[in-house]
Amino acid sequence: MGAFFLLGSLLAAPALSAGPEDTIAQRVAACIACHGREGATTGAGYFPRLSGKPAGYLYNQLRSFRDGRRFNSDMVWMVRHLSDDYLREMAEYFAGLDLPYPPVPQTTDASDATLKRGRQLALEGDATRGIPACVQCHGATLTGVQPAIPALVGLPRLYVSSQLGAWLTQDRHALAPDCMAEIGRKMTTADINAVASWIALQPMPANPKPAASLPAPLPMRCGGMEAK
């Protein structure tokens, strides 16, 4: 009798509520704390935008934090035990987001001469010092190129300058051959301030998505583009 009573009670009891659905969106929610809503950061912060960047680029950066080529204590702690497959899933999630960009700053404390130098470096480079133009690698509209070159427009000025500075001081590294380290070592702090100041003021093009390809070969070999 007792067994039948227990069985009846179990059948009559409401089903236990299921836990929250396990999705990649929920698992990467911690990223929002720094990078903004669903990886679309504001223009005023330090942290870069994740939404819509090429998956190959995001994947390479996550691996670099895990494997010691880049260092940020929070990023290293979050990814240090994750597999390549998990990192790729994270990268593809953020690459697939299509969110609006924040308004472009309308003012700057950079001088006209600084902005002119920044425009020159971005669009023409400096052949006398072996510095290619940003557009030669990052696309004519600086929105990045598939599969692994990031956009430069739509990023906070502080972030652009800090990352270029990290290349200059060799505090940031990428997969060999490390093309940005080679370029960064040829730039001065004035160059970095100039190009970051100019890029931060550029309006987003009508189509902000990464280009499918470049019209010409890269000016140098770059490990991030060669990695599988």
58-107 pLDDT, tens digit each:
999 999 999 999 999 999 999 999 999 999 999 999 999 999 888 888 89
> Higher model confidence: residue 192 or residue 3?
192
pLDDT tens, position by position, 137-190:
999 999 999 999 999 999 989 999 999 999 999 899 998 999 999 999 999 999
pLDDT at 24: 92
Long-range contacts, stretch 27-31, CB < 8 angstroms, 24+ apart? 27/90, 28/90, 28/93, 28/94, 30/78, 31/94
**pTM of the predicted model, to two decimals?**
0.87
Q: d(Cα 43, Cα 54) in Å, to the nearest integer? A: 19
Span 18-52, pLDDT tens digits: 666 789 999 999 898 889 888 787 666 788 999 99
Q: Is the pLDDT of residue 111 over 70?
A: yes
Q: Is the pLDDT of residue 215 over 80?
A: yes
Of the chain, the percentage scoring pLDDT greater than 90 comes to: 75
